Structure 1
Amino acid sequence: MNIIRNSIAAVTAVVLSLGFALPAAAQGAYGTVDSATQGTVNVDSSNSTNANVGVDVGVGVGGSADSNSGSAQTQGETNASGAADVSATGDVSVDVTPLIITRADVDSNAVEATSASASSVKTQAELSGFVAAQVKGDNNISAVEAASDSVAVTYKQHAKLFGFIPVTLDATATVDASGNVKISYPWYAFLTVTNHDDLQASIQSNVNAQLGVSGSVNASAQESAQLAAGEQARIVAAVQAAMQAQFDADVNARVNKVDGMTLKQ
């Protein structure tokens, strides 16, 4: 008799385990379970055992679980939503690496010189060829640096060491995107008398005339503070012409004779 009771208990445990395990497993895999579980155990007087287990499992996407074997009903719903909106507006500026061409670059044929005029320059490659041609054609140009925000030309100029000894030194004229001109000299220039004011005025006049404006490059450059390749080329041409004219003017200055010695002013 004890054996029968133990068997009944074991079968009952199996039935209950199946009733709870299958819905739970289905819910864990899909998140939604509809189940109906029924189990019966009958023992007749002839000591025979009859177990009947019925399991009905339905899996859907409604996010709910119902169990008919008890009085508890559980419903759950999960809703998750998200959105990301990234918007960026504004002017895009590409800062191209400055073009730097020196006398050594041209003398060693590191860059190719072209005969293109400043007005025909449209690209960086054309700008490079144009600048190289200017350096190659004028031995007084030491270097040219051209970028979207400024253009600088280093050119030999006459000066007077201690106010009376004629010397030459490199003067650098820098023109920003608004067309403003700045002249700089080597650190030791404080020992000399230079043509700073005349040179700056001459370059400023040339820059304005070359670009057809008064005190600024153009509307687009003034707004964006950037220079296109063609504008950079025209500035190089304007600065080079002014610095060459100033250098030649000093060379052709009148000659004074002092005690039989000839001094260039």
Structure 2
Amino acid sequence: MSQRHKLVVGNWKMHGSHAANAELLQGILASRPFAAEAAVCVPFPYLSEVAVTLANSGLAWGAQDCSVHEQGAYTGEVSSVMLAEFGCRYVIVGHSERRAYHGESDQLVADKAKVALARGITPIVCVGETLAQREAGETAAVVKRQLSAVVHALGQCIGEVVVAYEPVWAIGTGRTASPEQAQEVHALLRAQLAAATPRASEMKLLYGGSVKPDNAVTLFGQADIDGGLIGGAALKASDFVAILRAAS
């Protein structure tokens, strides 16, 4: 089993309100000390209040996307410079919903990872295949292609990112990859990283795709799975805390 310290990151997606956020964070913080590294990636409007609430709490925070540009006439975009001002430790890049709904390419995802790192923010780089791609036997080719763009853009700095494998067919569907299926892809990704950096064995590879309290222990017990990028279960304090405990 991996000796890497586990990391559990909640992706709130487009959910939240002042009241709901306060209740959720209070519920999570009540479980301190955490059994794993923990973070929440929240919608942009809530970064300020989350930063204030979580200061010195042991729970890190981040954003769900960033622009490749630092400033300029890019209406609706948010730069890594801005995220850094809010103390973001993480930013998710390349989530399948961004790739699908906003047409983000592998190269754009790689460029976003690069600008985030330049501002001291750790990118959580998402890769994953659709159901059609899995059924066609293309899983390995798809995830390797997606990760390759980031490797080429960052060079030796690839060792500073977190990689999240999120099979698209298991996101928000209630379906999840079996522990063996997830481990197979994680091992593939770590081998690809090992060809690019001597730090591959230290890097955190997360699984995302309907992680719940009842499957987290088995998933996190796999040799190359170092935690999770959690969607729906991150919106309920008791579930998120249970997943954190599973990561111990």
Give the TM-score band, short-chain normalised: under 0.3
**Structure number having the greater strand percentage:** 1
**Structure number having the greater helix percentage:** 2
Higher relative contact order (CA 8 A, sep 6+): 2
TM-score scaled by length of structure 2? 0.24
